[in-house]
Structures are given as C-alpha cells and as structure tokens.
Copies of this chain bind each other. A is one copy, B any other.
Amino acid sequence: MSTVVALHAFDEAMQLEPLAQGEFRARTSPLYMNMVGPFGGVTAAQMLSAALAHEERAGTPVTATVNFLAPLQAGEFRLRVRKTRQNRSSQHWYVELLQGDDEVRSNATVMTALRRQTWQATELPVPEALRLRPARLDRLDTDMEFINRYEFSFLEGPLFPEGDPPSYESSSTVVWVRDAPSRAVDFAGILAVSDTIFPRIYLRRPDRVPIGTVSLTTYFHCDQSDLDQVGSQPMLGVARGQVFSRNFFDQSSQLWSPEGRCLATSHQIVYFKS
C-alpha cells in the first residue's frame, strides 16, 4: 500500500535527477513561467539547489550570484556543479546551467559556510510595516504564471500602478509575500522570493519596455534555525531602484521575517530597452 503525497509546485520545480557527481538533470516548471521563458528566481533557486545537493557540501549558503547569459527554453537542462575551494569552514561553488548543445545559459557562484552565533546588529532601518501584520494576502490575477504561485499584500509600490494618472515617481515597494499555497521557507525559497520583487523600471515608466535581469546577488543573513522560525509565515520585501542609466538599472531589496529579522539582502542589475 502506498500513499501519494502531492509535492508543492516549488518543491516539484527543485527536483534534481543525479547524472554523475555534481551533475544533475532538471527542467523548467510550467507553473513558474514568466512573460517570456521561466521565472529567473526559480532558475536561480534550481542552481542553488544543485550546489546544495553536491555530496561534499557542508554548511549553508552565505552568498549566491547568478548570471543570466542567454534565454532558457522550456524543457530539460543540465546543472554542473564544481567545488572551486574547500576551506576549513567554508566552500566555494561554481554552477553552470547547460541546455541544448551544451550551451551555458546561466552560471552562478555560491559560497557556503558553517555559521555560528556571533555578535549581531542590523543597521538597515526596520520597516514600519513590520509593526502591523498583514490582514490578508491575495493572489494577483496576471498572465505571469509564476506570480500566481505567490500571494501578496502591497503596502507601497504595487505591481500595477493605479491612479489617474498613475504615479511613476518612486520605485519603492513594500510587500508581504508568501508561497501560494504556503510552504515552509528554505534557502532556495529565499532566493526565489528575492527575485519576485519585479523590475523597478515598471514603477518609473508607464511603457512596458523589454527588460531582463543580467545578474542577481543575494546575501543570506540566516541559518536553518532562523528559517525554521519563519516557517510558512509571510515575509516582508522592501525594494528600490538605484540608478537607471545607459540600458541598465540596478535594484536592491531586503527580505524580513515577521519577527523583524533581516533574512536576506539582494541586488540585481537589469537590462532595459530604451
């Protein structure tokens, strides 16, 4: 007698089939598609998952930089993980995502470490929004499938600016976010959520110019015990664009637990067509 338990769509997307040491087969998830191609946050999470699945991996992620080199096609791809350095309490990883004729479509550098309790301080201002828990999170109804895998409560800087005329003065967003259905957060989940903060240029310009994230860097300020404390509660995302110039802009964001811990800080640089 066997019991079939349905996997959460995110866990389904994170499934890796081992091919050799440090080599896995994975596939894009139809449930996490963006306008064109798969949601980069899930691609990044798959690359991080591959590094974490390496049999020699110890510790938890401290930093991950994911570069998006070329569009990923729907379907299968391979992830190749190489340990570039073994230190006493940390490891460095290089991950390549290969598709088609072994073409590198994305690459990533990841550093993992054993983390201990130390002196700590949060110098970022604690967002006002953390004083109030969200009343209700809603699924948005969009044609971006991956957006339907999350639920949100926007306090500032909504996905679709409203008003008559809409305001395009600031690119700040403050938003509660959670997987839908809810799911206990893990490192891959943190990385994916850090990319749900949509491109800031859409809050600054009414025209939806073509864009594409070039490179995403997320710093993890948490270990497993911190994630266990968050569980499946919503997290607060705070994001803002910094400089928009010569076809590229950068944006920075932070992800907070409801208890006021800054779990991750994240930065990305995004191409935009003028």
Contact = CB atoms under 8 A, between A and B. Distances in A.
Among A116, A243, A247, A274, find the residue whose CB has the most chain B CB atoms closer than 10 A.
Answer: A243
A151 interface: no
Interface residues of A, number: 58
A107 interface: yes
A154 interface: no
B219 A63 contact: no
B115 A62 contact: no
Given A109-B65, A109-B107, A124 B265 contact: no
A123 B240 contact: yes
A109 B47 CA distance: 16
Contacts of A202: none
A46 interface: no
A205 interface: yes
A110 B165 CA distance: 40
A136 interface: no
A259 to B, nearest CB: 14
A58 B118 CA distance: 45
A226 B92 CA distance: 35
B243 A262 contact: yes
Interface string A222-256: 11000000000000000011111111101010100
Interface string A198-224: 001000110000000011010101110
6 contacts: A65-B65, A65-B217, A69-B85, A119-B274, A123-B200, A123-B241
In the A-B complex, the 5 residue pairs with the closest CB atoms: A118-B274, A115-B246, A69-B85, A221-B243, A65-B65
